[in-house]
Structure 1
Amino acid sequence: MSAVAAEEAAIRQQIGKVIEGLRTKDLDVLREPYAPDVVSFDVEPPLQHVGIDAKLANWARVFEVFEKVDYELRDLTLTIGGDVAFGYAFGRLSGTMKNGVATTGMWVRVTYGLRRIDGIWRIVHDQVSVPFDILSGTGVTDLEP
C-alpha cells in the first residue's frame, strides 16, 4: 500500500468511527475522531459549536430524539497534503425516533477538515449544510445525491 493510500485509509477509518458512534449511540466512540478544539458548523444553532464537549452535546441531542440511529455517507472524496487534509461527502441521518416514527432523514453536504495530531488524523472542523432556496428563504431538504 502506498503512503498516500495508507493515509487515506487512516482518515476513512476515523470518519468511520463517527458513523459507528452514531449507529451505536456511543459518545465515547464519537469523541475519538475529533480534535479537542474541533469547530463545527452544524445545521443546528448556534452558528458554530466550539470544542469537543459542544460537538458531543450536539450528538447527544440526536440521541435524545432517536431510539435507533443510522448514518449513511456517500461519495467521500479526500485530498491530503502533509499533516492536513480535507474531504467532502453527502451524509444522511435516519432512523426511528423515540415516538416510534421512522424517518429516512435528509441528505446534507458534509465537509471535513483534518489535521494529523501526534500521528493520528483528527477532525478539526466539520460543516454540514443544506442547499438554500433564495426566493422562499428556506432550506431545500428533499434532494438526493
Structure 2
Amino acid sequence: MSAAGEETAIRRQIEKVVEGLRAKDLDALREPYAPDVVSFDVEPPLQHVGIEAKLANWARVFQVFETVDYELRDLTLTIGADVAFGHAFGRLSGAMKNGVATAGMWVRVTYGLRKIDGSWRIAHDQVSVPLDVLSGNGMVDLEP
C-alpha cells in the first residue's frame, strides 16, 4: 500500500472510534483497537489493559451521557512499515442523562498503532490535560 493509502487507513480507524462514540456502540469501538490495547486515560486507574478494559471505560461514559459527540482536531501521523503514532486534540461533549448539556474539555490524545494481520489497530492511547504544577489542578479550560 502507498504511504497515502496507509495514512488513509489509519485515519479511517481513528474515525471509527469517533463514529462509535457518537453512536454509543461498544461493538463498533472494539474493531479499531488491538486486543491487547493499553490505554492511559484521564480516569483511574493509571492504565486500562486489554480491549475489555478499554470498552468498560467507554461503557462508563455511555452510562453518564444520553448523547455523545466527539471532535478530533489537528491529527498528525508518523507512519512506519508496521508501527505508527499520532497526536491530536480531542473533546467529548454532549447531553448527560441528568439533562445537563456539556461542551466538554479539550484533551491531548496520543495514539500508537500496530499493523496486525494487515490492518492498523490502536495498540496504545493516552489522554491527558495540562497540569498547573503549583496548584496541582488540571487546566481544563484551554482550547487548541
TM-score (norm 2): 0.99
Q: Which amino acid aligns with 1:106?
A: M
* Aligned-pair CA distance for 1:32: 0.4
Q: Which amino acid aligns with 1:56?
A: L
Q: Which amino acid aligns with 1:63?
A: F
Aligned partners of 1:80, 1:95: CA distance in 2, in Å? 32
Question: How do 1:27-46 and structure 2 match up within 5 A?
Answer: 27-46=26-45
Check if 1:106 corresponds to 2:105. yes
SS at match of 1:141: coil
Aligned to 2:47: 48
Check if 1:119 corresponds to 2:126. no
Aligned to 2:63: 64
- Structure 1, unaligned stretches of length 5 or more? none
Identity of aligned residues (%): 83
Q: Which amino acid aligns with 2:47?
A: Q
Check if 1:80 corresponds to 2:97. no
SS at match of 1:110: strand
Aligned to 2:21: 22
Spell out, residue by residue over 1:23-43, the C-alpha distance to the aligned partner (whole angstroms, 9 max, x if none). 000000000000000000000
SS at match of 1:105: coil
Aligned to 2:136: 137
Aligned partners of 2:35, 2:83: CA distance in 1, in Å? 16
SS at match of 1:43: coil
* Aligned-pair CA distance for 1:101: 0.4
Spell out, residue by residue over 1:42-65, the C-alpha distance to the aligned partner (whole angstroms, 9 max, x if none). 000000000000000000000000
- Regions of 4+ moved over 2 Å: none
* Aligned-pair CA distance for 1:73: 0.1
Spell out, residue by residue over 1:65-108, the C-alpha distance to the aligned partner (whole angstroms, 9 max, x if none). 00000000000000001100000000000000001100000000
Cα RMSD of the aligned pairs, angstroms, is: 0.7
Spell out, residue by residue over 1:94-144, the C-alpha distance to the aligned partner (whole angstroms, 9 max, x if none). 000001100000000000000000000000000000000001011100000
